[in-house]
């Protein structure tokens, strides 16, 4: 029922079309660029909803022009009511909301920004994570604390292992290099490397990724791994301390 179409935007952003075939409702997640997104939306001749994970301009820049052209409704988190352009529907933490016959749950994942959310379509096992969780990485901590970001990632980590993850950027290659630097013995990571290279060399997006794979390969979800703690010289540290150290190292990687 749920068709997801990936739209590469700007230099490395992803916007996503969600088409609910049953009700013929069309939504877009984080429209980064009006023209690029509209070229895809045009095929559907309509756009019912715009879903924003957070307020950053590279996730909301298409909002107003798309809304004007298609009379779409814009959905975002209540904390961002003054920061998301054209917002119509204010979402709350843990709320369930229907778009057509599809239903998502709002997962509040602050850290990158104060009002960041993920859209979790629980029946379809699909989650749009914006700039919270990336394939093999996580977002920079801009408006929150490292602890908030760590807790946010753990919320996503608790979803079913076969959940498909669609994130906000094609950062997978540089994230891979960082993971390999501090988790060099990880055989799952070596397998994932082959898959990533194959996709990138044929100009395919590395999305979606699967949560179960991320748990085995994404260093930011592996803060309790003894090998990683050892590599960082933090063998007696808490998971949050390990996460903070990794995030700082990645910032300057």
Q: Decide if 58 is catalytic.
A: yes
Q: Is the peptide bond before 24 cis (omega within 30 degrees of 0)?
A: no
Question: Measured between alpha carbons, how far apart are the two ends of the chain, in Å?
Answer: 41
Q: Decide if 97 is catalytic.
A: no
User: Annotated catalytic residue: which of 48, 61, 131, 183?
Assistant: 131
How many Å separate Cα 68 from the centre of its chain?
A: 26
User: Annotated catalytic residue: which of 58, 97, 146, 225?
Assistant: 58
User: Annotated catalytic residue: which of 19, 20, 55, 112?
Assistant: 112
Which helix (H) or strand (E) segment holds residue 130: the answer is: strand 126-130
CA distances from 18 to 30, 110, 169, 193 (A): 11, 24, 17, 28
User: Annotated catalytic residue: which of 19, 59, 80, 183?
Assistant: 59
Identify which of 45, 1, 57, 6 has the alpha carbon closest to the alpha carbon of residue 29: 6
Q: Decide if 131 is catalytic.
A: yes
User: Annotated catalytic residue: which of 30, 80, 169, 183?
Assistant: 169
Q: Decide if 55 is catalytic.
A: no
User: Annotated catalytic residue: which of 19, 55, 56, 116?
Assistant: 56
User: Annotated catalytic residue: which of 54, 61, 80, 116?
Assistant: 54
Identify which of 11, 9, 15, 39 has the alpha carbon closest to the alpha carbon of residue 27: 15
Q: Which residues are catalytic?
A: 54, 56, 58-59, 112, 131, 169
């Amino acid at each position: 029922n749920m068709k997801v179409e990936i739209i590469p935007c700007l230099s490395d952003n992803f916007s996503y079309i969600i088409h609910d075939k049953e009700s013929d409702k069309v939504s877009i997640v984080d429209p980064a660029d009006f023209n690029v997104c509209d070229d895809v939306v045009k095929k559907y001749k309509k756009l019912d909803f715009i879903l924003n994970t957070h307020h950053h301009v590279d996730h909301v820049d298409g909002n107003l022009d798309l809304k004007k052209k298609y009379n779409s409704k814009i959905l975002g988190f209540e904390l961002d009511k003054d920061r998301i352009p054209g917002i119509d529907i204010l979402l709350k933490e843990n709320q369930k909301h229907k778009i057509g016959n599809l239903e998502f749950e709002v997962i509040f994942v602050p850290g990158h920004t104060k009002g960041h959310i993920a859209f979790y379509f629980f029946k379809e096992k699909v989650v749009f994570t914006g700039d919270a969780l990336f394939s093999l990485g996580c977002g920079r901590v801009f408006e929150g604390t490292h602890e908030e970001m760590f807790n946010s990632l753990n919320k996503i980590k608790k979803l079913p292992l076969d959940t498909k993850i669609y994130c906000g950027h094609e950062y997978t290659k540089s994230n891979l290099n960082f993971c390999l630097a501090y988790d060099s013995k990880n055989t799952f990571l070596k397998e994932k490397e082959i898959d990533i290279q194959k996709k990138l060399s044929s100009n395919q997006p590395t999305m979606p990724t699967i949560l179960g794979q991320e748990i085995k390969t994404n260093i930011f979800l592996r803060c309790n791994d003894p090998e990683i703690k050892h590599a960082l010289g933090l063998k007696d540290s808490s998971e949050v301390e390990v996460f903070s150290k990794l995030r700082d190292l990645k910032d300057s990687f």
